[in-house]
A and B are shown apart, each in its own frame.
Chain A
Amino acid sequence: MSTVEHTPSESAPDAQTWVDVQASDDFAQLKHRLRKFVFPVSGLFLAWYLLYVLLADYAHGFMSTKVFGNINVGLIFGLLQFVSTFVITTLYVRHANKNLDPLAEKLRGEIEGDGK
């Protein structure tokens, strides 16, 4: 098994450090917080996108229903895809700043600090 350079910046943490950190409670917590957000949200937006595509593909009549003026259901749904994308982006950034970054920073300090 070759282990080609991963260019550790200064003092490289050894293999045991990675295994220990991976087994630590803090890391389990960080991983849980990340996955608990990104997996369901990814499922959600993909399902919503797929629903939209299927409607646009197979429900022409429904999508062409006018709501007001020349604005129809299809256009509103399409614009809602933009809105949901912007909203998810904002929510994720808030989640990451508040719940992920501090913990990641703490762990990073522990790993890089003294190579414990």
Chain B
Amino acid sequence: MNESSPILNISIFGVFVLITLFVVIRASRNTKTAADYLAAGRAFTGPQNGIAIAGDYLSAASFLGIAGAIAINGYDGFLYSIGFLVAWLIALLLVAELLRNTGKYTMGDVLSFRMRQRPVRAAAATSTMAVSFFYLLAQMAGAGGLVALLLGITGSGGQALVIAVVGALMIAYVLIGGMKGTTWVQIIKAVLLIAGAGIMTVWVLGKYGFNLSTLLGAAVDNAPKAGEKLLGPGLAYGKNGTTKLDFLSLALALVLGTAGLPHILMRFYTVPTAKEARRSVVWAIWLIGIFYLFTLVLGYGAGALVGPDKINGAPGKANSAAPLLALELGGPILLGLIAAVAFATILAVVAGLTITASASFAHDIYANIIKKGQAEDKDSEVKVARITAVVIGLVSIGGGIVANGQNIAFLVALAFAVAASANLPTILYSLFWKRFNTSGALWSIYGGLAVTITLIVLSPAVSGQPTSMFKNSDFALFPLSNPGIVSIPVAFLLGYIGTILSREKADPIKQAEMEVRSLTGAGAEKAIAH
């Protein structure tokens, strides 16, 4: 039996870091203005941006989490990936192009376009930071678990050190490379991740004569406890009425959350036109879809070749399914490669989140609220963004160390629930509902945010269960771990009520400008030629 070799894993990861740092430094040479730093000069092509979006979206939770969930829970793990994929149609049909045409750097640009600037920008920045922070925390916490598995570091001190190193690297990428450098890191990582998963998929299928049915049969044979149940739904969520409702709630947040994730929305500003934004979503959909088909094979393959008992017994539990499968197939070298890709995934996603949160602070809060849109020079916006990136980086290192060992899937689900509740209703209303006004926007953002976070705090994920954050107290008044089924409709309703209750009329001229610009692309931000 092959053994994992921490030194080999670290070396391969080191090579990745060196290559990407080199690329980031090269890419940063032309970074001068705010549009360079925050939107990569809007000069990426649709396909490049599409690959980068896939890189941003396929987080460690997607790769390790879904493959592991399929290996252990079979079909129920597969359900995750379907929600994550179908969600992209909302981005494609309703959001991407219109957002590209009306905004500049942030989600706040679009939400505040025809509203009173300061309150709406403050609200948009608040929810951007909230989503980014939960998502960041999930990635950083995930880094700790991954380290335990791949490098054999099990002490909490050692893991904290690795989280700090990951955080420091990420700060370096964002400071040096800005959006352009970060985008290149996403592209490299996405190519490695999808290629690696593709090779493993063909390898696994080859072992079973390229017959999916045979592979599924082998997975069933190797799972004495689950048996045939592995192939149908219900293993994870089918226990009782509450878990079924919880799953429905999760499914809603997954499909409606993606188009409200600020770090995904910001990527649409890195291309020159709405048409390129459309092309980038198309590329992203194909890449993400194909990747999730790979994870289906990898998950069942890990079940068949490694077995659920061995996976559950490994340090990272379900998250170790894909790495253990790599070890089984290609020995320590393939494991090292996959481990490096998994690390790179965390690093790249964390960098993308950091630049999004810092852009929102610099552009929405500093430039438009504090300086009232009259910042003396555009350089100060970049400077503020850089300082914010360092602060966010340090906070997420601290948060990651504290959150190490927390349930990653729960943190990611939280980010999706906030995005689906606070952001998506506000985005859709401001793009498609003429009457929508400032008060409606504030109600849906703050209302959605408040309801989501309140329900989470009162959920069994936080208290009352052996798996909760606070095991020893019980204030779980809300039975579901996923708040979406309540918070999403409530947020839509609040946006509607806030609008009709307010005596303020929507500004018809701004509404005309926004609608014409969003559909025609007239007056949209242009690419910068260097």
Contacts and interface: CB of A to CB of B under 8 A. Distances in A.
A27 B519 contact: yes
Interface string B197-227: 0000000000000011110110010000000
Interface in B277-318: 278, 281-282, 285-286, 289, 292-293
B11 interface: no
Contacts of B513: 15, 18
A88 B247 CA distance: 25
Interface in A40-66: 41-42, 45-46, 49, 52-54, 56-58, 60, 63-64
Contacts, number: 174
Contact of B516 (A27, A37, A82): A27
A52 B82 contact: yes
Interface SS majority for chain A: helix
A22 interface: yes
Interface residues of B, number: 65
A99 interface: no
A7 B104 contact: yes
Interface in B230-259: 231-234, 237-238, 244, 247-248, 251, 255
Nearest to B289: A82
Contacts of A70: 212-214, 216-217, 220, 231
B278 A96 contact: yes
Contact of A13 (B231, B247, B522): B522
B79 interface: yes
Nearest to A19: B512
A22 B512 contact: yes
Interface stretch (B89-97, B124-132, B466-474): B89-97
B520 interface: yes
Interface string B69-83: 000000100110011
Main secondary structure, interface of B, reads helix
Contacts of A68: 213
Contacts of A22: 512, 515-516
Interface in A20-50: 21-22, 27, 30-31, 34, 37-38, 41-42, 45-46, 49
Given A27-B519, A31-B519, A85 B237 contact: no
A9 B89 contact: no
Given A49-B255, A71-B212, A86-B289, A38 B93 contact: yes
A101 B104 CA distance: 21
Contacts of A63: 75, 232-233
Contacts of A1: 116, 507
B217 A69 contact: yes
Interface string B505-523: 0011110110111011111
B135 interface: no
Contacts of A54: 248
Given A22-B515, A53-B251, A2 B117 contact: yes
B373 interface: yes
Given A69-B217, A70-B216, A82-B289, A42 B516 contact: no
Contact of B232 (A31, A72, A104, A111): A72
B85 A81 contact: yes
A112 B522 contact: yes
B213 A4 contact: no
B285 A85 contact: yes
A58 B88 CA distance: 25
Contacts of A5: 373
Counting chain A CB atoms within 10 Å of each CB, which of B113, B232, B237 scores highest? B232
Interface string B352-375: 000000000000000010001100
B254 to A, nearest CB: 10
Q: In the complex, which of the residues A85, A96, A112 has the most CB atoms of chain B within 10 Å of its own CB atom? A: A85
B525 interface: yes
B86 interface: yes
A104 B361 CA distance: 33
A18 B85 CA distance: 36
A12 B49 CA distance: 29
Given A7-B104, A64-B232, A89-B285, 6 more contacts: A22-B515, A45-B89, A49-B82, A53-B251, A75-B75, A78-B78
25 contacts: A2-B118, A2-B372, A9-B523, A18-B512, A19-B509, A31-B519, A41-B93, A42-B93, A46-B255, A56-B75, A57-B237, A63-B232, A68-B213, A69-B214, A69-B216, A70-B213, A72-B232, A75-B78, A89-B281, A92-B92, A104-B521, A107-B516, A107-B520, A111-B522, A111-B523
Task: In the A-B complex, list the 8 residue pairs whose CB atoms are closest, starting with the nearest.
Answer: A69-B213, A64-B232, A4-B373, A70-B216, A111-B522, A18-B513, A56-B233, A22-B512
